[in-house]
Structures are given as C-alpha cells and as structure tokens.
C-alpha cells in the first residue's frame, strides 16, 4: 500500500506532463484542466495529498488559464471555498493572474474569494482542504482563524518555525530531554522526567538515553516497549507504538513533511502526518519511518531500512526504500 506522499507526488508528475503539453499547444486548456481535476479526484479517492498533486502549479501558474505568472505582483491569491461554485472546479491552483481575475469579476463575485497580501502565507493551507477530513475546530473557526497548533493537529500545512506557541512547547520538551540525557541510568529521577515528557509513564517502559522528541505529548507508547539509545521521535503528529515493541539504536520516527518548493519551504511551512506501529514489532538499528506510515503487527524491520509506505502484518521489511522481503510465520 502506497503512502499519501507517493500518490500525491506521482499525480504531480502527471500534472506537470499535462501542463507541458498545454504549453506546447498539444492539448487545450480545458483538456489540461480535466486531466488535473482527474488527478485531484484520484488522489483524494486513494488518500493522496492534494497539495502535492498540484505542487507543480503553485506559486507561478494561473489556476484558470494555466499560463505562467512571471511577476508576484501580477497574481491574486484565492480561498477555495469562497470561489463561486459555478467556476470552482475550473480553477485548479490557489492563485490566478490579474487578467483572469478581472475577467471573472465581471461575471462572478470574486471579491469574497480574494485573499489579501498579509494572509497569502496561509492560502495554500486551505485551497484544497476537504471538509470531511477536518476536525470540528476547522468547521467552527475556519482555517484562517485557526492557530498554527490547531492546523498542525488537523494535518494541515502550518508555520512550524515562526509560531511562538509551538516554539515554546518544543523548548519545554527539549529542555526535559536534555535533563533526562544528563542523568545516570540508575537515577530514579529518570522516570519522573519521562512522565513529564510524555504526560504519563507507560507500563514496563525501558527507555535509554540519549532520547529526543519535539513535543513529547504526541507520543503514545504501549506496554513493555524498549527504546534503545539515540532515538528521535519527531512528534508533530501522533506517534503510536503498540505493545511489546523493541526499537533498536538510532531510529527515527519522522511525522514532518515540507514543501518541495523552496519558497514555501523557506516560509517555515510543514505538515505533520501520524505514524502507527502495531504490537510485537522489532526495529533494527538506524531505521527511519517516514510521515503517515502505518506498520502492521508482528513486523521485523531490518537495520538501515527507510519505511516510506504502509506495511502489512507479520512482514520482514528491508531496504531503501523499504519493501516486504517475506511474510513471517507466527
């Protein structure tokens, strides 16, 4: 089973090919937009990432005429759900050129969809969000009124690097991890600090130092979990580890994803997707688990594996990217 990132980026390659064909006059603009919408529908149907599906269009293509917008001042940012319903599907990116905006404004009420300059940094969060994916807070408050933490918890793009609330929460966790990592293994204070990091103390947990997490409170450990030295839990989203799981040295569980586009990446944007590990798994040394991955129960993950997609129960997993080598008889 592919991860939502693989699906999204795969669809993005189709979008790029279609737009290139349009630019060469090999297909019409309407045919190109039909292909783009088909990619978006397919990505949604198979839990893909809609933003990644059209990443090629972000920043420099008009979502209406599909022509490149050479200057930033010549583009208008739009909020998806404020675009008049009659033309919503005809606009396939969160910005259009001023020429298209002016033409559409003569026939439709485009003013409600307009996003002012001081809010453009959040427009990509909201353009392709589907209501049925969102937590109640999004419906109640609207994305533009959400805090960065609320966006993070809802799985939306959020400002990870410049939001003071999130910075402060990470510093609290980092200080606690630092304090933990300075203590002797025999120091009884270790369990007290671990409880502060996680917000609870898991049953029969063995956790060796050094250990690092971003927030701590998003980590859910089952009973009888063993965490060897030098593990990093990047828990912007939930990291859920089942019962009787052994985690070898220098493993990383990474929930964070960043835009491929460096302009948006340099704005500090990030998306956190949950990781889930079933019961009775064993991770060798230096395993990396990527955002949004679920690993089934009874799996063995070989040293050095990079797990980029969901894995079925009772699998021997190895490689970069990781794949199932065989099914383990239990």
Examine residue 210 and say whether the peptide bond preceding it is cis (omega within 30 degrees of 0).
Answer: yes
- Catalytic, 61? Answer no
* Backbone torsions φ then ψ of 284, nearest 5 degrees: -70, 180
What is the rounded CA–CA span in Å between residue 80 and residue 19? Answer: 21
Q: Which of 5, 61, 121, 258 is catalytic?
A: 258
Give helix then strand counts, H and E, for the chain: 10, 21
Output b/e per residue, 197-226; b: 16+ Cβ within 10 A.
bbeeebeebebbbebbbbbbbbbbbbebbb
Which value, in Å, is the radius of gyration of the alpha carbons in the chain?
22
Q: Which residues pair with 277 in a beta bridge?
A: 241, 295
Helix runs in 79-221, H state only: 98-105, 123-126, 136-141, 148-153, 164-181, 189-198
* Largest interatomic CA distance in the chain: 74
Which residues contact residue 56 at a Cβ distance below 8 angstroms, ignoring those fewer than 6 apart? 12, 15, 16, 19
CB 125 within 8 A of CB 148: no
Residues identified as active-site: 258
């Amino acid at each position: 089973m592919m991860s939502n990132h693989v699906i999204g980026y795969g669809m993005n390659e189709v979008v790029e090919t279609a737009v290139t064909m349009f630019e060469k006059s090999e297909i019409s603009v309407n045919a190109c937009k039909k292909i783009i919408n088909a990619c978006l529908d397919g990505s949604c149907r198979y839990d893909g990432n809609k933003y990644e599906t059209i990443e090629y269009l972000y920043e420099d293509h008009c979502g209406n005429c599909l022509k490149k917008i050479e200057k930033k001042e010549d583009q208008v940012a739009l909020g998806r759900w404020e675009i008049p319903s009659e033309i919503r599907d005809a606009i396939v990116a969160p910005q259009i050129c001023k020429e298209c905006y002016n033409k559409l404004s003569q026939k439709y009420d485009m003013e409600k969809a307009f996003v002012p300059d001081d809010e453009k940094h959040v427009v990509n969060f909201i353009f392709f969000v589907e209501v049925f994916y969102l937590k109640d807070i999004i419906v109640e408050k609207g994305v533009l009124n959400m805090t960065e933490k609320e966006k993070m918890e809802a799985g939306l793009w959020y400002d990870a690097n410049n939001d003071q609330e999130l910075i402060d929460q990470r510093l609290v966790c980092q200080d606690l991890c630092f304090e933990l990592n300075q203590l002797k293994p025999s120091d009884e204070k270790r369990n007290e600090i671990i409880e502060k990091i996680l917000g609870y103390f898991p049953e029969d947990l063995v956790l060796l130092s050094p250990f690092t997490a971003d927030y701590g409170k998003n980590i859910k450990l089952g009973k009888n979990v063993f965490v060897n030295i030098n593990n990093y839990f990047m828990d912007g989203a939930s990291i859920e580890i089942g019962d009787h799981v052994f985690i070898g040295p220098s493993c990383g569980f990474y929930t964070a994803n960043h835009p491929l586009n460096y302009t948006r990446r340099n704005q500090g944007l990030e998306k956190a997707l949950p990781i889930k590990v079933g019961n009775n798994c064993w991770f060798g040394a230096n395993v990396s688990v990527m955002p949004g991955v679920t690993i089934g129960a009874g799996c063995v993950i070989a040293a050095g594996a990079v797990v980029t997609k969901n894995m079925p129960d009772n699998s021997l997993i190895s490689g970069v990217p990781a794949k199932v080598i065989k099914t383990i008889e239990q």
